[in-house]
């Protein structure tokens, strides 16, 4: 039986969406890392009028995660992207919280019937399987700042060698196909959520954001002890123990 998504290339599909939304998009079928490309072009003179530059590919040869982690995926099967926002402020540590919440909200609003949850500081899960990761990097030149948000998300398939991972297609219930219109709607919502998150990146977390993050974090089935409180700087509490978000 023919596979209806066999010829789909998520990078190419995402680039077409970006062009239709009049965004600057840098698309290559293969490149080392979208975050590296975004940082290399961060302050190119011809891009200084672009509030957002999107970098996408079908395959990364040296995709990176947090720390020394690597991101691997079958060519064309994943959203491999870097969203480079031009800012006039230096983002605060709460930015990591806001960006994770933005991706979580985009996912859960598009496919609300799936068991989305967050694992701090930068992973999105469906149930107990990882589906997406985030890598944040900041580049500065004088008063200009670029916040590069790297998002890798398994759409069609997940790495066979990683049994703790899943993909969107693998997570959908029987009879629920992976529709192009749903994916485009997801990108629309992701653009809105990321833009909103970045616009607040110098501010403390609001009460709504903190409660939303707590719910998403405590929904994670592998979390041994629920978080009991979150502060406006992103610090989490488990009973009387305080935990820094970036130390998780």
Q: Check pLDDT > 90 for residue 219.
A: yes
CA pair distance 170, 96, nearest whole angstrom: 27
Question: Residue 97 belongs to what H/E stretch?
Answer: helix 94-110
- The tens digit of pLDDT for each residue in 166-210 reads 999 999 999 899 999 999 999 999 999 999 999 999 999 999 999
Q: Check pLDDT > 70 for residue 65.
A: no
Q: Are 107 and 72 in contact (CB under 8 A)?
A: no
Tokens for 11? 């990078």
CA pair distance 106, 188, nearest whole angstrom: 9
Region of poorest pLDDT, from 16-20, 90-94, 107-111, 216-220: 90-94
The whole-number pLDDT of residue 75 equals 74
The whole-number pLDDT of residue 1 equals 38
The whole-number pLDDT of residue 5 equals 60
Classify residue 114 as exposed, middle or buried by CB count within 10 Å of its CB (0-12, 13-18, 19+). middle
- The tens digit of pLDDT for each residue in 129-150 reads 999 999 999 999 998 999 999 9
Q: Check pLDDT > 80 for residue 68.
A: no
The whole-number pLDDT of residue 2 equals 41
Q: Check pLDDT > 60 for residue 69.
A: no
CA pair distance 198, 177, nearest whole angstrom: 32
Strands (E), the chain: 24-31, 52-60, 78-87, 116-119, 123-126, 129-141, 144-154, 229-230, 236-238, 241-243
Average pLDDT over residues 5-27: 91
For the chain, list the domains and their CATH numbers: 10-203 (3.30.930.10)
Q: Average pLDDT, whole number, for the chain?
A: 91
- pLDDT band (50, 70, 90) for residue 245: confident
Average pLDDT over residues 36-45: 96
Q: What are phi and psi for residue 72, nearest 5 degrees? A: -120, 145
Tokens for 56? 């996408």
Share of the chain above pLDDT 70, in %: 93
Classify residue 32 as exposed, middle or buried by CB count within 10 Å of its CB (0-12, 13-18, 19+). middle
């Amino acid at each position: 039986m023919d596979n209806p998504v066999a010829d789909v290339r998520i990078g190419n599909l995402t680039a077409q969406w970006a062009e239709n939304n009049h965004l600057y998009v840098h698309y290559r079928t293969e490149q080392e890392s979208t975050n590296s490309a975004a940082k290399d072009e961060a302050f190119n003179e011809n891009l200084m009028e672009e509030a957002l530059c999107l970098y996408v590919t079908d395959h990364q040869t040296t995709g990176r995660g947090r720390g020394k982690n690597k991101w691997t995926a079958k060519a064309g099967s994943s959203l491999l992207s870097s969203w480079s926002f031009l800012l006039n402020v230096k983002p605060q540590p709460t930015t990591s919280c806001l960006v994770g919440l933005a991706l979580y909200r985009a996912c859960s609003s598009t496919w609300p019937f799936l068991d989305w949850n967050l694992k701090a500081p930068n992973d999105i899960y469906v149930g107990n399987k990882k589906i997406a990761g985030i890598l944040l990097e900041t580049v500065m030149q004088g008063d200009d700042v670029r916040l590069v948000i790297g998002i890798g998300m398994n759409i069609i398939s997940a790495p066979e060698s990683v049994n703790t991972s899943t993909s969107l297609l693998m997570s959908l219930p029987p009879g629920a196909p992976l529709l192009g219109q749903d994916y485009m709607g997801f990108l629309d919502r992701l653009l809105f959520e990321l833009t909103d998150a970045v616009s607040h990146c110098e501010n403390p977390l609001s009460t709504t954001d903190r409660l939303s993050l707590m719910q998403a974090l405590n929904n994670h089935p592998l979390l041994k002890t629920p978080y009991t409180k979150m502060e406006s700087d992103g610090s989490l509490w488990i009973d009387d123990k305080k935990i820094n978000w970036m130390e998780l």
